[in-house]
A and B are shown apart, each in its own frame.
Chain A
Amino acid sequence: MNAVELRNVTKTFGKVVAVDDLSLDVPSGSVYGFIGPNGSGKTTTLRMIMNIFYPDSGSIRVFGGEAGDSCNDRIGYLPEERGLYRKMKLRDQIKFYGELKADRDVSEQVDIWLKRLELEDWAESKVEALSKGMSQKAQFIAAVVSEPDLLILDEPFSGLDPVNTDVLREAVLELQDKGTTVIFSTHDMDVAEKMCDFIFMIFKGMKVLDGTLDAIQEEYGHDTLRISADGGVSALRGLEGVERIRDFGRIQELRMKTGADPQEILARIMSKTRVKNFEVSKPSLHDIFVRIAGPEAEEVEVAENL
């Protein structure tokens, strides 16, 4: 069963088409990652699922029913920009948000989550006294404290340090284990690769990727070479059979032209420099993202340009 189903959903703001004829199925119990460049329509799509924005056309069903107030109480929502009452005490604030959805006393859950995310010492502090990371964790607790069946997280890890990122990631996965469906948007391709059962990419309002990571990578084939060689990127310029090079400093990622032989490319490189590491692999999600959305500046043009 799908937790969320979008059918031919379109949303425009004035003359700008934010989401264009989008259809999507989010299976129950899955972790679904939304990726896409800034302004591509991720947040608009999430807001439509939350019934904050209404689509111009198409339909959105959540847990089998029309998206709306009745299902919203089963959805926990962490918006892209955190919204907390600055003058309110942390515990009161989370309790208020939780009880708006749950319609029951959530004090116990509040205490459990405050302890879990190491905020119990700040429970009686006003929100204005919290750091940005703490506020983000507080907002996360506010989203999950009502024990929702669907959790929508818009950029949940942005601005968090690695420790807190891990804490939040573990919490999300634990919720998934308990049966919660999780949709989250992210710009961190590494997180998306590691956490998501399904990845959906939206670009200029249109769906450009949708499926499991393996399926997406399979679609792009084994056209990527990861190389570590003396001389770095300068030693790899002008290679025949190579379409693009992405330079990560110590490692370079080469995209082969269709039909090119990796062994021949390796031989050409070895004739020029000493190769320390060579791997034929599927393209990373990052690479796929960049292939679809650019920006070209991050890449080193090869072939005829170099």
Chain B
Amino acid sequence: MRKIFRIMKREYIAAVHTKGFIIGLVIAPIIMGGGFIALAVFKDRVDTNEKVIALIDHSGVVSEAVVEAAEVHNQDYLFDETGKQIRPAYKMEVVEVGPEGVGPQKLDLSDRVRDGRLHAFVEVGPGVLHPGDDPMAAHITYHAENAALDDIRGWLDRQVNARLRELRLKEAGVDASLMGDILSWIETEPMGLLSRDEASGGIRDATRSSEARAFGVPFFIVMIMFLITMMGAVPLLQAVMEEKNQRIAEVMLGSVKPFEFMMGKVLGGVGVSMTASVVYIAAGVYAFRHFELGNTIPYSLVAWFFTFMFLNIVMLGSILAALGSTCNDAKEAQSVTMPAMAPLMVPMFTIVPIATAPLSGFATGLSLIPFFTPIVMTLRLGTTATIPAWQPWVGLAGVVVFALLAVWAGGRIFRVGILMQGKPPHLPSMIRWIFRG
């Protein structure tokens, strides 16, 4: 144990006393969360240039209302209370269908959009007022360079449909003064569940469920786990391979058992991970509180987070160190890195389906596969859903067993691989080393 501790200490100091570690600590989350940061930084930087939109109204009933709505928009919604323009002005250009037909006209409008003289054009079908009569004639199409993500499409959608409903109600003989009441819209608020306050015995009211809590927290947790494992466990493969090639391994094995050597390195990786996680968690808590999201932080998750993270580094670290011991050069290391990264990559690719449906069979099943348990189970626990109490414990038991197996098997592979020169990594050989030494 003494020797493991000495090696761990050396590995830890060697890792954290580098500029690379400090820079990586800062840069990694910026790169990983770059999109979100950019979104936060640039969310108020809206394009305020006037948008010219052409409208071909085959129905003849909506163009007037849309032009009016655009004028209201330009008059009332362009500026905030400080007088700063926060939205672009809309200029509607109603296009009459000419003798050459609508096809050439739409092509001409498309060319104008490409040239930048027009932002978009809309075609309203002739049968939009009563879609049931002829569904084929009831289309509304929006043509733009990036139509799917264009906010103006939504604005137009609301204006055209509001006008059509109004006309339909008018035709049905509804009094115009009742229109506002009839057409009013009430949003459904997303709320959590009520619970009993154990201290007072009273009922604790539900809190509003926010996107930050529903997706931000699980995403943050997965990112932290991923980054920390990348910093603590993944470099072991390269480090062990280098020490093998630089013959440091032989000197070390003259003093310590292969298992002690490997565990010292793995626990050094755990130390690096702990340091990084303390920094990230502290920064995360500060950031959430700064943006007044402190109430969304699931503090009860901290114990699970650190337990699963520790086991994840031990499990993956042992496997990666063992694989590193079988490699002779960077090319060989690269070939074994990709499959070894699967326990990290699979949870990354499944964040969205798991975060949106943490109680699904897929999420539950994946979180109980030991390789994926640390990240996926922590992700599920980070959501607002109530995960059955037995699941994290069963997942934990699986990871403990698997981590012990990984340490044992990794130690067996490491013992042979670290002194094997010139022989590329070969799965059957590794399996043989595990069972026969």
Contact = CB atoms under 8 A, between A and B. Distances in A.
Interface of A: 47, 50, 52-54, 69, 72-73, 75, 77, 79, 81-88, 96-97, 99-101, 103, 139, 142
B247 A72 contact: no
Contacts of B2: 103
A97 B255 contact: yes
A79 B254 contact: yes
Nearest to A154: B250
A159 to B, nearest CB: 14
B14 A52 contact: no
From A69, A83, A99, A101, name the one whose CB has the most chain B CB atoms within 10 angstroms.
A83
Nearest to A146: B255
A96 B254 contact: no
Nearest to B248: A83
Interface string B266-283: 000000000000000000
Given A52-B254, A72-B255, A75-B254, A85 B248 contact: yes
A54 B433 CA distance: 14
B419 A82 contact: no
Interface in B399-431: 419
B112 interface: no
B250 A52 contact: yes
A100 B3 contact: yes
B266 to A, nearest CB: 17
B6 interface: yes
Given A88-B14, A100-B3, A100-B6, A82 B247 contact: yes
Given A85-B248, A103-B2, 16 more contacts: A47-B419, A52-B254, A53-B419, A69-B257, A77-B255, A79-B250, A81-B247, A81-B250, A82-B247, A82-B251, A83-B243, A83-B251, A84-B248, A87-B14, A99-B6, A142-B251
Contacts of B14: 85, 87-88
B387 interface: no
A83 B6 contact: no
B295 interface: no
Nearest to A100: B255
Contacts of A52: 250, 253-254, 419
A186 B330 CA distance: 33
Contacts of A50: 253-254
A159 B185 CA distance: 88
A82 B249 CA distance: 10
Contacts of A77: 251, 254-255
A11 to B, nearest CB: 12
21 contacts: A47-B250, A50-B253, A52-B250, A69-B256, A75-B254, A77-B254, A79-B250, A79-B254, A83-B249, A83-B250, A87-B14, A88-B14, A96-B6, A96-B10, A97-B255, A100-B252, A100-B255, A100-B256, A103-B2, A139-B251, A142-B251
Contacts of B255: 72-73, 77, 97, 100-101
Contact of B247 (A75, A83, A100): A83
Nearest to A142: B251
Contacts of B253: 50, 52
A182 B247 CA distance: 22
Interface in B219-268: 243, 246-257
A148 to B, nearest CB: 10
Nearest to A102: B255
Interface in B1-22: 2-3, 6-7, 10, 14
A182 to B, nearest CB: 15
Contacts of B250: 47, 52, 79, 81, 83
Nearest to B242: A86
A83 B257 contact: no
Contacts of A75: 254
A72 B3 CA distance: 13
A156 to B, nearest CB: 14
